Structures are given as C-alpha cells and as structure tokens.
Structure 1
Amino acid sequence: MFHYILLHKPFGYLSQFTPETPGQLTLADLGPFPPEVYPVGRLDQDSEGLLLLSNDSRLNVQLLDPRHAHWRTYWVQVEGIPDEAALAHLRSGVEIRFNKKTYHTLPARAQLLDPQPTVAERNPPIRYRANIPETWLELSLQEGKNRQVRRMCAKVGYPVLRLIRVNIENLQLGDLAVGAWRACTQKEIYTYLKLKK
C-alpha cells in the first residue's frame, strides 16, 4: 500500500528519520508516520515548509530525476530590499560554487512579495537588525542543488534570513500548521505534481 504525506517541516529538523549527532531533531520527532515512508527530496535543517513523504518509488524517480523538471517555489526573507537588477540576475541564472566547482543555475522566477506574506513565527526567531530592512521574495526553481536558494541570494548581495518552501508544482503547503502533516491520495499527488501514473 502506498502512502503519501504532506508535512510542514519546521526550522531545525533534519529531513530524515535518524539523527546524525545526539540530540538532533528529525522527522521521527514529528510522527508517528507509517514505518516504510521516506522523504521525497529534502529541505536543509534550517529551511522550512513543504516536504513530501512516501513509499512510492515511482514518485521518487519522477520528482527528483532532472529529466522530469518540476517547479519548486520558496518564500525567502532576505536582508535588504533587492532591486530590479538583482531580481533580473536571479531570473537569468547566477554562478554559484557547488561541489568545489562553479555552477551556473538555470533560469528562475523571482519577484518581490507585496504585500509581505503572513507566516508563523519561527522558533527560534530570526535575528533582528534595526538598521537593515528585510524583504520577502518569491523564488521558483526547476532544480535543487544543496543550499541553492541561499547561495543564489547571497551571490546577488541579499543574505537569506528565512526560507520556506510553499509549493512543488501545484502541490501547495497552504495553511498546514508548522510541524503538522496530512495524508493525501495517490490521485491528488500525481495530479498536482503533473506526474504520469
């Protein structure tokens, strides 16, 4: 039997069920989940938002294989107010360091979020600096290199304070509370992700 679970991963949790060092928070601390599920894709420990858990290996291949590109959208809180030149740079692709090599990212979708989104407070809160404004961006990518969004924003001069994945294709985080999860049907997952059964 296949299981499909949408999870709102909180800040500070590993996208896996086993800690790497004693005391680390993992997905196991958010369950219980069916024992055979695993994360399809991942979010860094300091990133938040939509994470899909399943035991459907076909889903894993279709969603993660670069030949089957999918848009992933993030709300990104950055230091400063990005200008149009910075947004254009993100849209056209930037050069980042990845695996000790220079990598040119694929074109992305980037825009300022206005009005600013209403999101739950992070625990712990982001650092506050009275003399530096903060802005939320919406950034959509069709690839997922390690810490790519953070590297891209830093490259154009706007360090990331907070990062929340809000959708994968048409599969949305919606109003799912931080740390909460819900089961989905196969039809729902495959339809929203535009996958072949």
Structure 2
Amino acid sequence: MHRHFIIYKPYGYLSQFYSNSKQQQKKRFLGDLYDFPENAMAIGRLDEKSEGLLLITTDGKTSDFVNSQKVNKEYYALVDGDISEEAIAKLQAGVEIGFEGKKYITKPCKVFKLETIPELPERSKKIRDDRHGPTSWVSITLNEGKFRQVRKMTSAVGFSTLRLVRVRVGAIQLNSMNSGDVIEVNEFSLNF
C-alpha cells in the first residue's frame, strides 16, 4: 500500500526531507514537520521562499502523473505594485523567461487579479506592507513548472513577487490548512 500526504509547506523550508550537504545543515526540511516513510518523495517542489500545498507520496506513478503537464497547479502571488490589465494579458499569453541558461516562452495560462486579499496563514517572515507602495494579489494557474517559473513570469512583466503560495494541485486545495499542517490521505482522496 502506498501512502500519500497533503502538506502546507511553510516559508523557509526546503522541499526535501534531509541533506548531507554541510551548507544546508542549518536549513529546515520537510522531515522536521512529520515522520514521513523512508521512500516518500515530494511531488514537484516549492522553493525555500515559497509556501503552500505540497503533495508527498510513496508512489512514483502518482508523482509522474502530477508532474506531467496534465495537472494544473494554481498559485496566489502577492506582487509589488498594482498589476495592470496589460501585464495580466502578457502573463496569460506567455512571457519569455530564462531557464537553464536559455530563453523560454511560458505556455499560455490562466491569470487574474484577486479582488480581495486571500485568507492565508500569516507568514513567519514579515512581508513589506502597503506603506512602501501598493501591492496586489494575482492567481496564476499553470500546467508546467519550470524552476521559479511564477516568480520569473511576474518579474518579466515588471511586478516582482513578494509572496508565493501554491493553493491547488488538480482538484486538491489548500483550503483552511495552516502552515506546517500534514494530512495523510488515502489513494481515493487524490482527485486530480
């Protein structure tokens, strides 16, 4: 029997369970949140400064399927500035970003400005507030996942990302989970 977990990866954690690297010994890892099975793997990754929904499984087939371009992932990004309709249109159509030393055009995706601030747990590290200029929240739904793609995309249209939270993978949503929560689910709960 394979085991599956839904977690809210907190800001400041690496999307791995441990590291033998001396440079990373003081970092925080997923294994600090829960005693995952030895053969568990994170499905996709969130960088250290990103947070939100992360799936963990012991099933390589599930991991491969979710990492394929068949499953959408939705992110909420707090961006620096009041994002324009023009910038949103560019994001929707695809923008040029750097990936592995080469230029890459992102695939068309769903992007819209959130009208209200999403209800998310407070982040452990303070984010600058509106006293330093306006900010806005956008929803970006992708079916690809290049390294730091959402951050690179918002930057490419002139709005750097201040906070990034993955809120959905397929039909699985973050809902009211708190930062650091881990929920073990059965295989039939994984609707993508």
Cross-structure match for 2:44: 41
Larger mean Cα displacement after TM superposition, 113-122 or 81-90: 113-122
What one-letter code is carried by the residue in structure 2 that aligns with 1:38?
M
Task: Report the equivalent of 1:8.
Answer: 8
Distance in 1 separating the partners of 2:73 and 2:68: 14
Matched, 1:29 2:32: yes
Counterpart residue type for residue 84 of structure 2: D
- Once the 2 structures are TM-superposed, how far is the Cα of residue 63 of structure 1 from its aligned partner? 1.4
Amino acid at match of 1:8: Y
- In structure 1, the residue matched to 2:87 is 86
Q: Moved runs in structure 1, 4+ residues, more than 2 A?
A: none
> Could you tell me the TM-score, scaled by structure 2's length?
0.95
Q: CA deviation at 1:129?
A: 5.7
Tell me the secondary structure at the aligned position of residue 23 of structure 1.
Answer: coil
Look up the match of 1:109.
110
Matched, 1:57 2:65: no
- After superposition, give the CA deviation of every residue in 1:132-152 in whole Å (9 maximum; x if it has no partner): 111111110110000000000
Superposed, 1:1-197 pairs within 5 Å as 1-19=1-19, 20=21, 21-66=24-69, 69-128=70-129, 130-189=131-190, 192-193=191-192
Give how far 1:62 is off.
1.2
**If the length of structure 1 is used for normalisation, what is the TM-score?**
0.92
Q: Structure 1: how far apart are the matches of 2:36 and 2:107? A: 35
Residue identity matched to 1:157: G
- Unaligned 5+ residue runs, structure 2? none
What is the CA-CA distance between 1:27 and the residue it aligns to?
0.4
Offset, 1:117: 0.9
Cα distance in 1 for partners of 2:71, 2:114 equals 21
In the alignment, the residues of structure 2 paired with residue 87 and residue 28 of structure 1 have an alpha-carbon distance, to the nearest angstrom, of 37
- Which ranges of structure 1 fall in alignment gaps of 5 or more residues? none
Alpha-carbon RMSD: 1.1
Displacement after TM superposition at 1:34 (Å): 2.3
**3-state SS in 1 of match to 2:14:** coil
What fraction of aligned residue pairs are identical, expressed as a percent? 36
Instruction: Note the C-alpha offset of 1:4.
Output: 0.6
